[in-house]
Amino acid sequence: MMIRNILGFIILFTAFNSYSQGITIASKNKKSSFKLSGYGDLYLGKHWGGYNKKESFFYNHKVNNALRTNLLLLKGEFSARRFRATLALMTGDYSQYNLAAEPKWAKPLNEAFVGFKLSKTKNLWWDAGVYSSYIGIESSISSDCPTLTRSMVAENSPYYLSGTRIVFVSDNKKHEAGLHVLNGWQRIGWDPSIVKPSLGAHYKYNIKENLSLMYGAFYGSIYPDSLSINRFYQHVNVAWKNGKWETWGTLDLGLESGKIWGAAQVMNRYTFNSHWSLAQRVEVFYDPDNRCARIGELDKTMIGGFTLCPTYQLNDQITIRLDTKFLKSTENILKGENWDLQLNAGIAVRF
Q: What is the pLDDT of residues 298-319, one digit of tens each?
A: 667 789 999 999 999 999 999 9
* Partners of residue 204 on adjacent β-strands: 176, 214
List all residues 6 or more positions away from 33 whose beta carbon is below 8 Å from its beta carbon: 24, 25, 26, 27, 78, 79
Is the pLDDT reported for residue 172 higher than 90? Answer: yes
Tell me which residue of 39, 34, 51 sits closest to 342, measured CA to CA.
Answer: 51
Owning domain of residue 52: 2-350
**How does the average pLDDT of the chain come out, rounded?**
91
DSSP 106: G
Is the pLDDT reported for residue 169 higher than 80? Answer: yes
pLDDT of residue 18: 45
Tell me which residue of 186, 263, 184 sits closest to 229, measured CA to CA.
Answer: 184
pLDDT of residue 20: 46
The number of folded domains in the chain is 1
Concatenate the DSSP letters of all residues of 269-305 into one string.
Answer: EEE-SSSEEEEEEEEEEE-TT-SSS----SSPPEEEE
Tell me the C-alpha distance between 175 and 187, whole Å: 28
The mean pLDDT value for 136-146 works out to 95
Q: What is the pLDDT of residues 233-281, one digit of tens each?
A: 999 999 999 999 999 999 999 999 999 999 999 999 999 999 999 999 9
Concatenate the DSSP letters of all residues of 209-247 into one string.
Answer: TTEEEEEEEEEE-SS-GGG---EEEEEEEEEEEETTEEE
pLDDT of residue 107: 96
Radius of gyration of the chain measured on its C-alpha atoms = 20
Tell me which residue of 157, 166, 163, 152 sits closest to 202, measured CA to CA.
Answer: 166
pLDDT of residue 26: 63
CATH number at residue 325: 2.40.160.10
Q: pLDDT > 90: what percent of the chain?
A: 83
pLDDT of residue 3: 54
Distance of CA 344 to the CA centre of its chain: 18
Among 4-18, 90-104, 221-235, which is the least confidently predicted range?
4-18
